[in-house]
Structure formats: structure tokens, C-alpha cells
Amino acid sequence: MALTDTYTMNNGLKIPVIGFGTWQANDDEAKLSVLWALEAGYRHIDTAAGYKNEEEVGEALKESGVPREEVFVTTKLDNKSHGYEKTKSAIKDSLEKLDCDYIDLLLIHWPNPIASRDNWKEDNAASWKAMEEAVEEGKIKSLGVSNFHARHLDPLMETAKIKPAVNQILLNPSEMQPEVVEYNKKHDIISEAYSPLGTGKIFDVNELKVLADKYNKTIAQLVLKWSLQHGFLPLPKTVTKERVWENADVFDFEIKDEDMAVIDNLKGRAGSAVDPDTIKF
């Protein structure tokens, strides 16, 4: 496996096995980190309307010199853009900000934001219809969701013509969300891992320090490899140049089964996922 290797989504299209995340990367920071990522060999960039950095990501894509068709670009629907007309407008806005003719993957960022709390099922279905139309028009290649549980996916799939290809969730050794991962697997939905390195606390977990030393890798490299060996698609984020390269250097070793089991048993040691039905945004 290598940085440019891909998983095949349920629509037959390919998605690189590691993506570069841009959450909390603002303005020049976002642009520079994406340029470094593309230079390091990443070919999968993850942004969102809510990150307020789509323009900077688009500028980096243009300035990198990497052909657009070689980069897989993901963005996400803002929480205030749920509903048919709002979603159509949001897609147009994201395409303009990214300065792209198409987006590879569009996700509904959260299933039940405050703005849609009273009608979240209907709003998700209406947004999905607009997203499906964008696929038919060639503006979007693939569709997915983020932070969805079974209770959100089941009603969405009752009316969806296009099945979600990806569910991006918080996923790391401290929070494995087994019920969501199992649902994704059952429905041939790829589990993308945001915050794959958890919080800063994960770097203080002694078991990870010991295993990182054993494999002569950093804790970040160890945890990203753990994610890949589980079949997840991690989205590491950093604005430090050296770590961009470090996080990409995870393909020259394999974690043994007994050590995978150790990492699997670190639940709650470095933060956990929030309930998507009680978020305050």
C-alpha cells in the first residue's frame, strides 16, 4: 500500500486511502499546508464550507501544478444549508470558492444541526435530492455523509436514489464507534476517520509510546497505520511541514495482531465523539 493507493467506493469510483484534513486551518495556513501535502504526494484533500477555507484550498490546488484530475477533493454541506434550494445554492458556492468544475465527494456535514432540528429527516432528504441532481449534472462525482449514525442513515436511504459512498466520523483508538463502523461495513460505506490522531492526549498514552518505539515510528505514524489496517480512511491534519511528511510515511511497516489488539483497547483514553443529535451548532 502507498499514499496514492485507493479504495473502491460503492459507485465504482476510486478514493485515495489517506486524505489531508484542513479543519481549523485558516487563510494562508490552509493554503500552505495543502501545498505541502500535494508536494508530499497526498492526492486527497478534505475541506468543508464550515471550515471557511475552500478558497485557500482552491488556490493551493491551482498553484501546486498537480493536474486537477489527479486530486480527489472533498467538501461538506454547511449546517445552515440543509434543504433543497439551500443545498443547490451551497453547491454552486463551493464550486466557485474551490474554483473547480466539479467536486469529487460532497458530504452532509452533520445530520441534525440546530437549524434543521425540527425537520432534520425531511431536510436531509431534500438536500440529498439536490446533491443527486448535481451528480447528474456532472458537478459532483460521489455523495456521502459525516457524523451519521444508523438512525440518521436509515431514513435517508429510504428516499435516496444514490447510496452514500462514505461516512466520515470521529475515529481513533480512543473512540472506535463500533456500531457505526459495523453499519457502514454492512452497507458497503467507507468509514473515513476524522481526528484520526484523537486529541493531544493520545500522545501521552504510554501503551502507544511503547509500541511506537517498538516499530521505530512516531505515535502519529503508529495510529495512522492502525487506522489503515482496520480498513478506515484516515484524514490527518497538520499545519507543520515536517508532520505533513511524517504522517505520509506509514507504508513501510505492519502492526502485528497482538499490538493491534492493544491499541483497540484504549477506549476513552483521549476523548470521545459528540452526540450528533445534541450539537449546539
How far is Cα 43 from Cα 59, in angstroms, rounded to an integer?
15
Backbone angles phi, psi at 72, to 5 degrees: -90, 115
Classify residue 138 as left (phi > 0), alpha (psi -120 to 50) or beta: left
How far is Cα 165 from Cα 107, in angstroms, rounded to an integer?
9
209 Cβ neighbours under 8 A, 6+ residues apart: 219
Q: Is 183 a catalytic residue?
A: no
Backbone angles phi, psi at 96, to 5 degrees: -70, -45
Select which of 51, 84, 183, 215 is catalytic: 51
Would you please indicate which residues are annotated as catalytic (active-site) residues? 51
